[in-house]
Amino acid sequence: MANDPHPTLTMEDRKQLIARILTPRPEGTADARAIADQAVWSWERIAFHLTPLIGQAGFQSLYFRAVHLSLPQCPTITLLQRGSSTEDLFQHLRSDLALLDAVTTAFCSNVLMNKFLELVASMIGEQLTAQILHSAWGRPPEAPAAQEEDAQ
């Protein structure tokens, strides 16, 4: 296992990784807009790597289900109509999150991503989910400059 470049993540490992990706850095601004931007960046990266495996309709179905499951904890996250583009879903999520205070934005971003990745892992398995997360996020970004380099 030590030589495996993509070891299987436990659910707790995955939650910690998500928290590191979505939690604002102490040296950065921790406003809701910055957190929402980071959340959308993470969603775009996941979609880029997962959509070829399950298709856009599969990705969106899992996303809609994750939003539905997140509503008891985050009732301010809303959905667009089915048939919207994935980019429209992410822009809508950014708008919803940016309207909240920073703490609630970070909390809801984490809840939604965790619900989504639980669904993904139940569908394709923990090991493939870990490989996708590693491909999508690599190491958690340390600063905005690292995010810009990763996005290119």
123 or 11: which leads in pLDDT: 123
Distance CA 57, CA 77 (A): 20
How many folded domains does the chain comprise?
1
Confidence class for position 52, pLDDT limits 50, 70, 90: very high
pTM value is 0.77
pLDDT in tens, 72-114: 999 989 887 777 899 999 999 999 999 999 889 989 999 999 9
Residue numbers of the domain that contains 73: 29-136
Confidence class for position 22, pLDDT limits 50, 70, 90: low
Q: How far, in Å, are 13, 43, 48, 63, 136 from residue 51 at the CA level?
A: 23, 11, 6, 12, 12
* 47 domain-assigned: yes
* 148 domain-assigned: no
* 152 domain-assigned: no
* 14 domain-assigned: no
